[in-house]
Amino acid sequence: MTSLPPHPVVTAEASGTWTLGDLPVRRIGFGAMRLPQTGTALIPDAVPRDRGEAITVLRRAIDLGVNHIDTADFYFSPLRSANELVNSALGGPYPSDLVIATKVGPRRAADGSWAAAATPSELRGQVEENLRQLGRDHLDLVYLRMMGQDSAAEHFGALAQLREAGLIRHLGLSNVRPRHLDEARDIAPVVSVQNPYGLGFNTRQAELAARCGELGIAFVPFYSLAGAAREDGRGDGELPEVSAVARAHGATPAQVRIAWTLAQGPQMLTIAGTGDPDHLADNVAAGALRLSDEELASLDEAHRRGDGPSAERG
């Protein structure tokens, strides 16, 4: 059993690496959804986050060895856009090893309200908008974020054409069921699946996560800390097993949740997001936390008791 070191700064290298297609990334990445606003939800009246604070967090992530950032052009508040923040903080030029993943499919109006999902013919415009906002000539990884469609084939086929045209390097799927993965793999390679999953949360995703590992596909949970009373894992109402393991290691419950996620297989990547530099450092340090077999068994049992929504939402 390895606890977190009390003083030295732990970087993302401690979490190990995974290769997204041909792009090596550290298994602890950073999710930019929360950067444009305070709070935890993409809502029309979100309170914009301080710009300087957001840029500081992004640059601190790079300093801590993070080289995988997850974003989208629909991550914005009335004054802040996640893509623009990423570009301003890290672009000109971007670090050579940085992998930026984005998503297309959902649409939001300028006032922040949600609109109907993009049609296949509209996906090129979304890809080009992400390119413009990020200041890049191609996108490293683009997820097709499903919005309740029965089939992924037509939308994914449109993205595969953009990949052939050189606008996209690799393709992924988000908010999907196993049959969507089968559909997409018949069209073009899939390097990553991003679905809502965490300790005690959406337990039905475990089978898909394991299958991704067998296929050499990354599984990237989002809302992976949402099983706690608060999304950052620090609030009241935490699972007693998580709290006990955290006390034993002098760690936070959020760190235990991240460590448990990484222990589910080498294909598991994390993209926990935060607007707080201290929370960011804690999240990255979780990559060095090694749980004992007994602790993992206890947490696995707590996980099996959990339940949550299917992959239709999140």
pLDDT of residue 99: 98
Residue owning tokens 């059993």: 1
pLDDT of residue 311: 41
For residue 220, being part of any structural domain is answered with yes
For residue 60, being part of any structural domain is answered with yes
Give the orientation angle of helix 153-164 with respect to helix 123-134, to 10 degrees.
50
Tell me how many domains the chain contains. 1
Q: Cα dihedral sign for 10, 11, 17, 18?
A: positive
pLDDT of residue 111: 85
Tokens of 212: 């991704």
Q: Is the distance from CB of 159 to CB of 142 less than 8 angstroms? A: yes
Q: What is the end-to-end Cα distance of the chain in Å, rounded?
A: 33
pLDDT of residue 187: 98
* Boundaries of domain holding 203: 23-305
pLDDT of residue 306: 76
For residue 5, being part of any structural domain is answered with no
Q: Is the distance from CB of 313 to CB of 177 less than 8 angstroms? A: no
DSSP structure string for 135-190: T-SSEEEEEEE--S-S--HHHHHHHHHHHHTTSEEEEEEES--HHHHHHHHTTS--
Distance separating alpha carbons of residues 127 and 314, to the nearest angstrom: 22
Strand partners, 237: none
Mean pLDDT per 10-residue section of the chain, whose length is 314 residues: 68 98 98 88 83 97 98 93 97 96 95 92 98 98 96 98 98 98 98 96 94 98 69 61 97 97 98 94 97 98 73 38
pLDDT of residue 235: 46
For residue 134, being part of any structural domain is answered with yes
Write down the H helix ranges in the chain.
Answer: 51-63, 82-90, 123-134, 153-164, 178-185, 206-215, 240-249, 253-263, 277-285, 293-305
For residue 49, being part of any structural domain is answered with yes
For residue 3, being part of any structural domain is answered with no
Q: Is the pTM of this model over 0.85?
A: yes
For residue 1, being part of any structural domain is answered with no
Catalytic residue check, 197? no
Catalytic residue (one of 75, 94, 197, 223): 75
Tokens of 169: 């390097």
CATH at 212: 3.20.20.100
For residue 8, being part of any structural domain is answered with no
Q: Is 16 left (phi over 0), alpha (psi -120 to 50) or beta?
A: left
